Amino acid sequence: MEKIDFVMIWVDGNDPAWQREKNLYDKSNKSGDSTEVRYRSWDNLQYWFRAVEKFAPWVNKIHFVTWGHLPEWLDTSNPKLNVVNHKDYIPEKYLPTFNANTIELNLHRIKGLADQFVYFNDDMFITAPVEPTDFFDNGRPLDTYALDAIFFGKKSAGHFNGNDIEIINAHFDRRKVMKKDFAKWFTPKNGLKRLIKTTALTLWPWFPGMYYSHLPSNFLKSTYEKLWELEGEELDATCSDKFRTKSNCNQWLIKYWQLAEGICKPKGIKDGMCFHIKDSLFEEMLGAIEKGKYKLICINDTVNTSNFELQKQQVIDAFEKLLPEKSGFEK
């Protein structure tokens, strides 16, 4: 079996040194997104490492990407841990950066990164046992083949999604792609809702959008390299922005390209759940964490988080019930 690495990016929004550097550039930030929700910490990072050790002990290496700050409790001597500073892999001309898209679109440059890797945001967790075959099968990433309509709502990621799909449509003919991989796009694994939506959206001759689950992404480093070769100008423009900007592409482009090329194997959509933190779903999310209901979850911070400090502690308490024991990544 080929090696599979995990990559996780993290920022300590409370770090005074990081805040000073961010503020130097934020003064001239006219169109970028530098809102608090992008950077505030839920103080639950140790549970991410505990979960990896308990539920995915087979992982080859964890590449932990940061601006330079580290949690005080992190044991950097763990042989499975590779601490990666932005300066270690992001081209100097893009630094410093406060743009997650820049950080994500250069991940393939991390020294020693396996060609197969799973990318996690710091709000994405493993909460039940997983196997390598949950992410890759014989060197091919698992993903969901399904069409979707792009939502261009205020504060949404629709602009990035649209920019990504524009590139996909420039390189791929939607009809030919879906004809070639018909069984993948219309597999029962997608569930009835996805099948109906995909069928309805085939009325358009181009890709109107693709399904994105907001869970960890399974990537091939070689796909990154191909995109930089073919669309280097677009990716350079994104990475030149210090903050997330509506004209940016993002890492979903890599995912969509893998699907359009047909290199992925279909997977089901029931082993993970993204919770956008709103009062109506909060209790359900806490219960899912405590019980390990899903293999993968995302705890997505939103502007609708009503009581951040209280809800942060409740999330910590839920993780403590699932993962009370320290991991080998903690001092």
pLDDT, tens digit (0-9, with 9 covering 90-100), for 185-197: 999 999 999 999 9
User: For residues 251 and 160, what is the distance between their CA atoms, to the nearest angstrom?
Assistant: 9
pLDDT at res. 30: 52
What is the model's pTM?
Answer: 0.93
User: For residues 90 and 228, what is the distance between their CA atoms, to the nearest angstrom?
Assistant: 13
Residues of the chain with pLDDT under 70: 27-40, 278-280, 302-306
User: For residues 281 and 291, what is the distance between their CA atoms, to the nearest angstrom?
Assistant: 16
pLDDT at res. 74: 97
| CATH entry 3.90.550 includes domain 4-140+213-250+271-322 | yes
Cα separations (Å) of 249 from 177, 245, 275, 330? 22, 9, 24, 35
User: For residues 170 and 153, what is the distance between their CA atoms, to the nearest angstrom?
Assistant: 24
pLDDT at res. 268: 81
pLDDT at res. 320: 97
pLDDT at res. 232: 98
pLDDT, tens digit (0-9, with 9 covering 90-100), for 104-153: 999 999 999 999 999 999 999 999 999 999 999 999 999 999 999 999 88
pLDDT at res. 325: 97
